[in-house]
Amino acid sequence: MTDVVTMTLNPAVDLSTTVEKIVPVYKLRGRSQQRDPGGGGINVARVVKRLGGRVRAVYPVGGATGDMLRRLLDKEGVPSCTFSIAEETREDFFVVEISTGQPFRFILPGPTLTEAEWQQFLAFLSRIEPFPRFVVASGSLPGGVPDDFYARLTRIAKLRGARMVVDASGSALAAAVVEGVDLIKPNLQEMRELAGCEPHDAKEWQAAAKALVHDGKVTTVALTMGHLGAVLVTRDQVLRAEPLAITPISAVGAGDSFLGALLWQFASGAGLEDSFRYAVAAGAAALINRGTGLCMPEDVKRLARQVVIEAA
């Protein structure tokens, strides 16, 4: 039985390179080249698989880039279910400027899906057997897909008795929360939009997360706060972790690594504190890999021993 199914409506192939200095007009010759599968749910599935969990990634593929995406995931051994679309799968690219160490991230809009194309995902989730324990909706919605798409997925998951996890932003996240979900994993910007306020410190961010839980629409909030660390909030517990001392190479996929490790632990039957510990470690571990390399199991295990969890 698959424990986790991830739904990624706007996946990508991530191309990353390094250049000495970014300047206008001149040809900027990259010193490296790396292609990785990308997109929120894709990355979560890669991490769950890498850490030993049972997962399936569901995503659309279009054109030569879509074929490449499928090959890259097959190479990593991630079980997939794909749907063909008419337009080309997007390609994002990331550049690190060697002289300053500054990362530059270029995110392209991706394809526009027809109603028939995005309806395939709802039909698939409705009929899948056996049904997964966790359904993850993660990443941006492409053009043509309604803002309440994740809310529609949530209704199906709830009817089938699965736990619904959403990692999104803006109206897509807000609509899912109104429907009622089990877990969300916002960052600070996403939390600011969702809560409609401007917290000033870690305690105020934590209070905003608690307010969402006590409002009854979200069971668990896993809030990643960058330099402020992270908090995990349920109705009965609030756990806080300070950030680990990491010199980042790439910030791409850190939140996805956090969520993938959290779900891997939940699916394994781990308790809240241990699950949170591994999630924080995985998010930190992703920072030391180039491109969309995400976290590696050995780094997660090593860093988990350094994570300090406090009841807040």
* Active-site annotation, residues: 256
122 by Cβ neighbours in 10 Å (0-12 / 13-18 / 19+) ranks as middle
Determine the residue type at 51. Answer: L
Contact call for residues 204 and 225 (beta carbons, < 8 A): no
In Å, how far from its chain's centre is CA 144? 21
Short-list 69, 97, 93, 96, CA closest to 83: 69
CA Rg value for the chain: 19
Does the N-terminal peptide bond of residue 130 adopt cis geometry, omega within 30 degrees of 0? yes
Question: How many beta carbons lie within 10 A of that of residue 35, not counting itself?
Answer: 17
Distance, in Å, from the CA atom of 171 to the CA atom of 250, rounded to the nearest integer, reads: 28
Determine the residue type at 114. Answer: T
Q: Count the residues in the chain.
A: 312
Determine the residue type at 33. Answer: Q
25 by Cβ neighbours in 10 Å (0-12 / 13-18 / 19+) ranks as exposed
Structure token digits, residue 18: 């390094």
DSSP class of residue 290 equals: S
Question: How many beta carbons lie within 10 A of that of residue 57, not counting itself?
Answer: 29
Distance, in Å, from the CA atom of 97 to the CA atom of 240, rounded to the nearest integer, reads: 34
